Amino acid sequence: MGRVLALMWKEFLELRQDPRLAGIILVAPILQLTMLGYAATTDVHDVPIVVVDGDRSSQSRELIERFAASPYFKVVDEFLSPNEVDAALTRGRAWLGVIVPIGFGDSLQGQGPASARTVQVLADGTDANSSGVALAYAAGLVSEFNAALVAEQMLMGGGGAPGGITGAVRVWYNPELVSKDFMVPGVLALLLLLITTNMSAMAIVRERELGTLEQLHVTPLGRFELILGKLLPYGVLGFIDVLLVMAVAVFWFEVPLLGSPVLLLAASAVYVLCTLSLGLFISTISHTQQEAMMTAMFFFLVPMIYLSGFIFPIENMPVMIQWVTTVIPLRYYLVIVRGIFLKGVGFDLLWPHFAALAVWGVAVLALATARSHKTE
Amino acid sequence: MNHFWAVAIKELRQIRRDRRTLMVMLFLPGFFLLLYGYALNFDIRHVALVVQDRDATAESRRLVSRFVESTYFELVGTATSDAEIGRALDSGVARAVLVIPEGFGHDLAQRMPVTVQVLLNGDNANTATTVLGYTTAVLREASIPAGASVTTRLALVEPRIWYNPELRSTLFLVPGLIAYLSMITAVVSTALSIVREKENGTMEQIRMAPISTPAFIIGKAAPYLVLSQISGILVILAAMVLFGLPMQGNWLTLNLVLAMFLIGAIGTGLLVSTIAETQQVAFQIGSLVAFLPTFVLSGFIFPIASMPIGLQYVSTVVPARYFLIALRGIVLKGSDLITVWPSVAALVVYAFLVMGLASLRLARR
C-alpha cells in the first residue's frame, strides 16, 4: 500500500510539472457546463421568417398575426411580392417564407378555388432538423387558425360549442421541458470520460515514450501496484470534477437532484473504474502519446458519445446500431445519472445498469492487465 | 525554403511512423460519415406508449388505434393501476402514457367535451416537445366528429422545401462533420507535435539549428494542412457517393474555404502548443478549444438562433460557425464566392490573427 501511495505521489508531482493542469481541472467542467447547459438545445424558437400577405383581408391579417405572436417565429420582414422571398432564403436572412395568396379570405367563405386558400410555406432545408420543426410549427399554427374558424362557424350556425377530445397533458420529471435539466447531468459522463480515460492512457504511454517505464519495472512494485498507482490519481481528479459538476448543476443551473447523491457517487465510482480501465487498455495498444490520444478520441470517446444517447436518442437509431450501443458503458451511466437527478429513482430500478457497468469495467480491466503483461 | 522542406519532411516521416494518426486522419471520417448517415437523427418515431383504458368501449379502442396508426407511437403495454403507470415511466419502459377515463365513449357519442390524460416522460426536453406535438395532432384529428367539416372550408398548407427537399439530416450534418473532424485533428495534432518536441527535449535542437521561425512554423503546419485537406475532400466525396450529397457549387471555392478554415485550425493548434508544457495538458486545452465550441456553438447541431444572446455573441468568434455557413452554402445551395464572402472574410481574419499570435509567441521563446 505504501508503495502504491508513493507512486501516486510521484504521479501527482509529475502532473504539477505543468502548472496549467490545475486550471484545466477547474475550467474544463465549468466551460462544458456553460456551453452544454445553455447552448446545447435543439429547441427551435425565434425562427426568422418573412411573410407576404397577398390578400390583405381580415382573415389573412389574422393568420399572419398568429405567426407574429408565436414565440417560435420572428417576422423579420414583410414583402409585397413572393419573388422577394427567394432572395431572403438564398441569402439566409430567413429560414421560412409564408405566402398568403390573393383571394384567401373569400375562398374561406366558399367563394373561390381551393388553391386560393392554400398558404405556401417555403423552407430553407439546409438545416434539416430545425426546418422540419419549424414547418411543423407552421402547420400547427394554421390548424389552430382552422380550429378557431370551425368553432366560430359552429357558434354562428347555432350548433353550440363543439365537443371533442382534449388532452390533459402532464409532463413528468421535467414539467417545463427545459433542455438544460437533461444536458447538464450528462456532462458528468462526458467529463469523466475526457479526463480519466485520456489522461491515464497518456500518462502510461508517456512513461513508455520517455523510457521510464523500464525503470518502474525494475522497482519492487508489483504489477497491480503499478497499475493502481498510475490510475488512481486520475480517479481522484475525476472525483473532484464530479463534486464540482454536481455543485454547479444544483446551485447554479438549479437542476433538481431528486435522488440520492450517495448513490450517484457510488455510480460514478463504478463508471470511473470503466473509464480508467479503458485508459489502461488504450495505453497497451499505443506507442506514443499522440497515438494514444488519437485512439482514445476517435476510436473510443467520440463514437461512444454519439452512440450513448447523450444527444441523439437511442430509440431513434436503427435496431442494429441499438445493439451496438449496449456495449457502451456511457449509456448505462447516463441512464443512472439522469434517473437519479430527474426521476429520483433508486437502486431497485437502476441495478441492471449498475451491473452492466461493473461487468464492463472488470472485463476491460482484466483484458488490459493481461495485455500489459504481454507487451512489457 | 530548404529549411521549410527539411522540417516538413521530418514531420511527414514522423506522421508516417505513427500509422494510427494517419489512419485517423484519412479513414476515420468515413466511419463517422456512416454513423451520421445511418445512426443519428432526431426523427422521432415509435414512441413507447402505455395505455390505461378505463372505458374499454369501441370508442376508446378506436382512440388507441389512432395513436398506433399515426406511426408515431408504438403500443408497448397496458396498465391497470396508477402504480404500474409510475413504474412504466420510472423505468423508462414508456415514454408516454394515455389514460382514457370511464364514460369516454358515452360522452363522445353525446358530443360532450371529454378529457383524456396524457403523461409524458419529459427528461429529454427535445423528444418530449415533439411527442407533445404528435399527441395534440392525434387528439385533434380524433376530435373531428364524423360527418362534420364538409360544410366548412379550411385553410390549407403547402410546404415547399428548398435545397434539401426530403429534410434529410445527413445532408445537413455532413458539412458539420467535416468542420468537427478537421478542427480536432488539426488543432490537437499540431499542438501535440510541437509539445512532443518540448517534452523530448528536441525543441532545443531545432532552436539551435539554423531554421527561422516562419520556416519552422510552415514546415510543421504544411503536412497537417495537406492531410486534413485530403481528408475533408474524401468526406465530401464519400457523402456524395453514399448519401447522394449534391455538390452544387464550385470545387475550387470549396477547397479555398476549407484551406482557410484549416489554416485557422492549425494556427489554433500552434497557439495551444505555446501554452502547454506537456502533451497531456496540450490535449486537454486543445480538445476544450476545438471540440466543444465546434460541436456546440457552431450551429452544427444546435441552432444558434435558439441560444441565449450572450452565447450568440460568443459564437461569433468560433471559426466553425463561418465555415459551416460557407460550406453549406457551397455544397447545398451552390453559392459562389461572392455570396459567401462575409463568412470567408471572417475565416481569413481568424486565420491571420491566430497565425500571427502563434508566430509571435513562438519567436519570443
CA proximity to B200, closest of A208, A24, A375, A8: A208
Residue with cell 488539426: B186
CB contact under 8 A, A118 and B283: no
Q: Which of residues 35-94 of B touch A (CB under 8 A)?
A: 35, 38-48, 63, 89-92
CA proximity to A303, closest of B235, B43, B181: B181
* Closest CB to A24 among B127, B281, B296: B281
A92 contacts in chain B (CB < 8 Å): 325, 329
pLDDT at A199: 80
- Strands, sheet with A73-79, edge to edge from the N-terminal-most edge strand: A73-79, A47-53, A96-100, A118-124, B156-162
Q: Closest chain A residue to B149 measured between Cα atoms? A: A150
Angle, vertex CA B176, rays to CA B173 and CA B181, nearest 5 = 120
Angle, vertex CA B98, rays to CA B96 and CA B104, nearest 5 = 165
CA proximity to A342, closest of A330, A334, A332, A331: A334
Identify the DSSP state of A331.
Answer: H
pLDDT confidence band for B149 (50 / 70 / 90)? very low
* Closest CB to B283 among A90, A114, A202: A202
* Residue-range domain boundaries for chain A: 47-156, 175-375
Sign of the alpha-carbon torsion through B160, B166, B172, B175: negative
| A270 CB-near residues (< 8 Å, 6+ apart) | A354, A357, A358, A361
A339 contacts in chain B (CB < 8 Å): 90, 92
| A285 CB-near residues (< 8 Å, 6+ apart) | A295, A371
Residue with cell 373569400: A106
Residue with cell 426536453: B125
* Closest CB to A90 among B18, B161, B333: B333
What phi and psi, each to the nearest 5 degrees, are found at residue A43?
A: -55, 145
CB contact under 8 A, A198 and B153: no
CB atoms within 10 A of CB B142: 19
* Closest CB to A20 among B119, B154, B276: B276
**Cα B221 to Cα B191: distance, rounded to the nearest angstrom:** 10
CB A203 within 8 Å of CB B280: yes
Q: What is the pTM of this model?
A: 0.76
A167 contacts in chain B (CB < 8 Å): 115-118, 135-136, 139
A46 contacts in chain B (CB < 8 Å): 305-306
- B287 touches A at CB < 8 Å: yes
CB B293 within 8 Å of CB B350: no
CB contact under 8 A, B91 and A90: no
Strand A165-172 versus strand A118-124 pairing type: unpaired
Number of H helices, E strands in chain B: 15, 5
pLDDT at A313: 77
- B152 touches A at CB < 8 Å: yes
CB atoms within 10 A of CB B35: 20
pLDDT confidence band for B50 (50 / 70 / 90)? very high
CB contact under 8 A, A126 and B164: yes
Residue type for position A262: V
- Is the predicted pLDDT of residue B353 greater than 90, yes or no? yes
Q: Name which residue leads in pLDDT, A97 or B30.
A: A97
pLDDT at A358: 95
CB contact under 8 A, A130 and B288: no
> Which H helix or E strand runs over A103?
none
- B202 touches A at CB < 8 Å: no
Sign of the alpha-carbon torsion through A203, A204, A206, A211: positive
CB B3 within 8 Å of CB B211: yes
CB B137 within 8 Å of CB A189: no
The Cα of B155 is separated from the nearest Cα of chain A by a number of Å equal to: 5
* Residue-range domain boundaries for chain B: 47-143, 169-364
* Closest CB to A182 among B125, B136, B189: B125
pLDDT confidence band for B147 (50 / 70 / 90)? very low
Number of A–B residue contacts, CB under 8 Å: 364
> b/e per residue, A174-199, with b = 16+ CB within 10 A?
beebbbbbbbbbbbbbbbbbbbbbbb
CB contact under 8 A, B90 and A143: no
CB contact under 8 A, B108 and A18: no
From first to last of its 376 residues, what are the pLDDT tens digits of chain A? 677 777 778 777 777 766 677 777 777 778 778 777 777 766 677 888 999 998 888 888 999 999 999 888 889 999 888 888 887 877 778 888 899 888 888 888 877 787 888 888 888 877 776 777 788 788 888 878 887 877 777 667 655 445 566 666 676 766 666 777 888 888 888 888 877 888 888 888 888 877 777 777 777 767 777 788 888 888 888 888 888 888 888 898 888 888 899 999 999 999 999 999 999 999 888 888 878 887 888 788 888 888 888 877 787 788 888 888 899 999 999 999 988 988 888 888 889 999 999 999 999 999 988 887 655 5
Q: Which of residues 311-340 of B touch A (CB under 8 A)?
A: 311, 315, 325, 328-329, 332-333, 335, 339
What phi and psi, each to the nearest 5 degrees, are found at residue B244?
A: 65, 35
| A272 CB-near residues (< 8 Å, 6+ apart) | A192, A196, A235, A238, A239
| Percent of chain A predicted with pLDDT > 70 | 89
Q: Name which residue leads in pLDDT, B148 or B189.
A: B189
CB A89 within 8 Å of CB B335: no
Into which CATH architecture does domain B47-143 fall?
A: 3-Layer(aba) Sandwich (3.40)
Scanning B18-81, the segments in alpha helix (DSSP H) are 19-26, 28-34, 58-69
* Closest CB to B120 among A172, A286, A298: A172
Q: Closest chain B residue to A319 measured between Cα atoms? A: B39
| B281 CB-near residues (< 8 Å, 6+ apart) | A18, A20, A21, A24, B195
- Is the predicted pLDDT of residue B156 greater than 70, yes or no? no
CB atoms within 10 A of CB A46: 15
B115 contacts in chain A (CB < 8 Å): 165-168
Q: Specify the CATH number of the domain A47-156.
A: 3.40.1710.10
Q: Which of residues 233-272 of B touch A (CB under 8 A)?
A: none
For residue A81, give the C-alpha cell: 411580392
CB contact under 8 A, B122 and A177: yes
User: Using a CB cutoff of 8 Å and minimum separation of 24, what contacts does B101-110 make?
Assistant: B101/B54, B101/B55, B102/B54, B102/B55, B103/B55, B104/B54, B104/B55, B104/B57, B104/B59, B104/B60, B104/B63, B105/B55, B105/B57, B105/B58, B105/B59, B105/B60, B106/B57, B107/A163, B108/A163, B108/A165, B108/B59, B109/B59, B110/A163
What is the 3-state secondary structure of A104-122? HHHHHCCCCCHHHHEEEEE
pLDDT at B145: 57
pLDDT at B225: 87
**Cα B232 to Cα B255: distance, rounded to the nearest angstrom:** 9
Residue type for position B110: Q
CA proximity to B262, closest of B355, B328, B171: B355
pLDDT at B43: 65
* Closest CB to B122 among A164, A171, A209: A171
A63 contacts in chain B (CB < 8 Å): 155
CA proximity to A28, closest of A210, A214, A223, A199: A199
**Cα B286 to Cα B269: distance, rounded to the nearest angstrom:** 7
What phi and psi, each to the nearest 5 degrees, are found at residue A170?
A: -120, 130
CB contact under 8 A, B128 and A174: yes
Scanning A17-57, the segments in alpha helix (DSSP H) are 20-34
For residue A276, give the C-alpha cell: 480508467
- B309 touches A at CB < 8 Å: no
> b/e per residue, A324-353, with b = 16+ CB within 10 A?
ebeebbbbbbbbbbbbbbbbebeeebbeeb
Q: Closest chain A residue to B277 measured between Cα atoms? A: A18
pLDDT at A157: 63
| Percent of chain B predicted with pLDDT > 90 | 13
The region that residue A22 occupies, defined by phi over 0 for left and psi between -120 and 50 for alpha, beta otherwise, is alpha
For residue A375, give the C-alpha cell: 507487451
